[in-house]
């Protein structure tokens, strides 16, 4: 392999976790490909996986003794799971069964693999593979979402014939594409090191009285995924979040706000020192003119509320822009492109992420999104329906490229 084509995996330490699914045999090729790419591989097998493939196979392929139990150490380290967690640059679990995913989601550590996953502080990547019904079961989906929210990179299973003799989603993707995902992680790693990125997420709440507010359906998932993706690339990330029910992403400084005015103040006070601002929040354009001190009691007849304008935070950022890369969102229910392009120009953005929120599988409250990106230089990039975490990688990748180029050239 020449220096020109050197893989980003070269010299990396990969712990490959193999769990007990029929796809375990494919992990042999994954181990082999990782090694060919120059990575050092240590394999941990769960007990169930040894029914599908032997430890001897992995020992030959990886060149290291395979860890099959908590109680038979194979290295000189006293506390082996900690030693492996410290040694690793990446923990890749492929295939990951529903059982492994469930245990990891709740922090059970009852074997070497789950214990290592609990101790590790480097990126974790899992490739779920199982029967379609198990995969689609809400409990599995909720567990996968929990892991995603904690920063675990989930490689989507492929669709096709499953071992249970039916078509569906749940197949382990080809070993080559799993290894490509691992490689991608290292090739983009640290591309935002030293950069200060400000992200906003969630909706805002505009109080009417001590118990009521005007709000919107934003879950915050898109902004949280962006903050996590930027942090993974080494950025110093501040996330200004409206009221959401999501756990704080790891390695991100989270500032919780409630109203649009609070979000405005939190963002503006950090603007000068930011290299990029990604405004994924759904900010209320109006707020009640006055907030009642006591709960509003019902009267005979109708109640008329007077609303006043909130600041347009992004518009203000666009006007005050000096060196920052500025990214906006446009959630529309019709004429998506026209509205998005107008906002791109009016708010002086480098690019805008437009999506049609009238679709049930994109935008508010769901884990997937379908977006079209419009750039200030006229480029348009349409993306298929994908997980918000995957779209977040795309968005952060573009921000990283724009920062590298020294910001947008504003060729309207």
Give the residue with the Cβ less far from ligand CTP, 144 or 327: 327
Q: How far is the CB of 240 from ligand CTP (least distance, A)?
A: 11
Indicate the residue among 232 and 279 with the shorter CB distance to ligand CTP: 279
Nearer to ligand CTP, 30 or 357 (CB): 357
* Given 164, 250, 290, 382, the catalytic residue: 164
Stretch that binds ligand CTP, among 90-98, 155-163, 188-196, 327-335 (CB under 6 A): 327-335
When asked if residue 157 is in the footprint of ligand CTP (CB under 6 A), the reply is no
The secondary structure of residue 320, as a DSSP letter, is T
Pairing assessment for the beta strands 40-45 and 13-18 based on DSSP bridges = parallel
Q: Is 328 in the site for ligand CTP (CB under 6 A)?
A: yes
Residues 266-295 that bind ligand CTP (CB under 6 A): 279, 281, 283, 285
List beta partners, residue 356.
332
Classify 329 as helix, strand or coil: strand
The verdict on 224 binding ligand CTP (CB under 6 A) reads: no
Distance CA 112, CA 308 (A): 58
Count, residues near ligand CTP per rule CB under 6 A: 14
Parallel, antiparallel or unpaired: strands 252-256 and 236-241: parallel
330 or 395: CB nearest ligand CTP: 330
User: How is residue 179 written in tokens?
Assistant: 């290894």
Distance, CA of 203 to CA of 9 (rounded, Å): 39
Nearer to ligand CTP, 149 or 310 (CB): 310
Q: Which residues contact 128 (CB under 8 A, 6 or more apart)?
A: 95, 96, 97, 98, 101, 135, 140, 144, 154, 155, 157, 170
Select from 4-12, 108-116, 236-244, 322-330 the region that touches ligand CTP (CB under 6 A): 322-330
Applying the rule CB under 6 A, the residues between 12 and 41 that interact with ligand CTP are none
Rounded Cα distance, 12 and 174, in Å: 21
* Cβ atoms < 10 Å from Cβ of 27: 31
- Does 164 qualify as catalytic in the annotation? yes
Question: Of 112, 208, 313, 373, which one interacts with ligand CTP (CB under 6 A)?
Answer: 313
Nearer to ligand CTP, 23 or 281 (CB): 281
> Residue 403 in 3-state DSSP?
helix
- In angstroms, give the least distance from the CB of 266 to ligand CTP: 12
Binding residue (CB under 6 A) for ligand CTP from 97, 114, 131, 310: 310
Based on the shown chain and the rule CB under 6 A, indicate whether residue 312 belongs to the binding site for ligand CTP: yes
| In the complex, minimum distance from the CB of residue 318 to ligand CTP, in angstroms, rounded to a whole number | 9
Q: Which residues of 296-330 are buried (b: 16+ CB within 10 A; e: fewer)?
A: eeeeeeeeeeeeeebbbbbeebbeebeebbbbbbb
Q: What distances in angstroms separate CA 368 from CA 88, 143, 359, 363, 372, one per listed residue?
A: 31, 16, 11, 7, 14
Distance from the first to the final alpha carbon of the chain: 43
Residue 174 lies near ligand CTP (rule: CB under 6 A)? no
Residue numbers at the binding site for ligand CTP (CB under 6 A): 260, 279, 281, 283, 285, 310, 312-314, 328-331, 343
Residues marked as catalytic: 164
């Amino acid at each position: 392999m020449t220096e020109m084509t050197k893989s980003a995996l070269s010299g990396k330490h990969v712990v490959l976790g193999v769990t007990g699914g029929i796809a375990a045999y494919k992990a042999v090729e994954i181990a082999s490909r990782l090694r060919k790419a120059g990575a050092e591989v240590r394999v941990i097998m769960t007990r169930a996986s040894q029914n599908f493939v032997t430890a001897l196979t992995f020992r030959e392929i990886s060149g290291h003794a395979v860890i099959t139990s908590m109680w038979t150490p194979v290295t000189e380290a006293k506390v082996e799971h900690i030693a492996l967690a410290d040694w690793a640059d990446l923990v890749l679990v492929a295939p990951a069964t529903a059982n492994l995913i469930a245990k990891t989601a709740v922090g059970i550590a009852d074997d070497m693999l789950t214990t290592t996953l609990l101790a590790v502080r480097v990126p974790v990547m899992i490739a779920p593979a199982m029967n379609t019904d198990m995969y689609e079961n809400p409990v599995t989906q909720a567990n996968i979402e929990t892991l995603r929210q904690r920063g675990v990179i989930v490689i989507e299973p492929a669709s096709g014939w499953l071992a249970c003799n039916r078509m569906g989603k749940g197949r382990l993707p080809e070993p080559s594409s799993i290894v490509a995902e691992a490689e991608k992680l290292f090739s983009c790693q640290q591309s935002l090191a030293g950069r200060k990125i400000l992200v906003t997420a969630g909706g805002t709440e505009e109080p009417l009285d001590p118990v009521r507010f005007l709000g919107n359906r934003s879950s915050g998932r898109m902004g949280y995924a962006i903050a996590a993706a930027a942090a993974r690339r080494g950025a110093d990330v501040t996330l200004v979040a409206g009221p959401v029910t999501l756990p704080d992403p790891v390695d991100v400084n989270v500032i919780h706000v409630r109203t649009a005015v609070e979000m405005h103040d939190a963002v503006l006070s950090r603007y000068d020192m930011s290299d990029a601002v990604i405004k994924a929040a759904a900010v209320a354009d109006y707020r009640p003119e006055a907030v009642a001190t006591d709960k509003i009691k019902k009267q005979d007849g109708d109640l008329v509320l007077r609303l006043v304008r909130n600041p347009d935070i992004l518009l203000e950022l666009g006007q005050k822009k000096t060196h920052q890369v500025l990214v906006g969102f446009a959630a529309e229910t019709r004429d998506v492109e026209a509205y998005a392009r107008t906002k791109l120009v009016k708010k002086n953005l480098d690019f805008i992420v437009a999506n049609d929120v009238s679709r049930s599988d994109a935008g508010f409250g769901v884990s997937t999104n379908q977006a079209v990106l419009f750039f200030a230089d006229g480029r348009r990039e349409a993306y298929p329906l994908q997980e918000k975490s995957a779209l977040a990688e795309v968005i952060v990748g573009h921000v990283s490229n724009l920062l590298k180029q020294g910001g947008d050239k504003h060729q309207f």
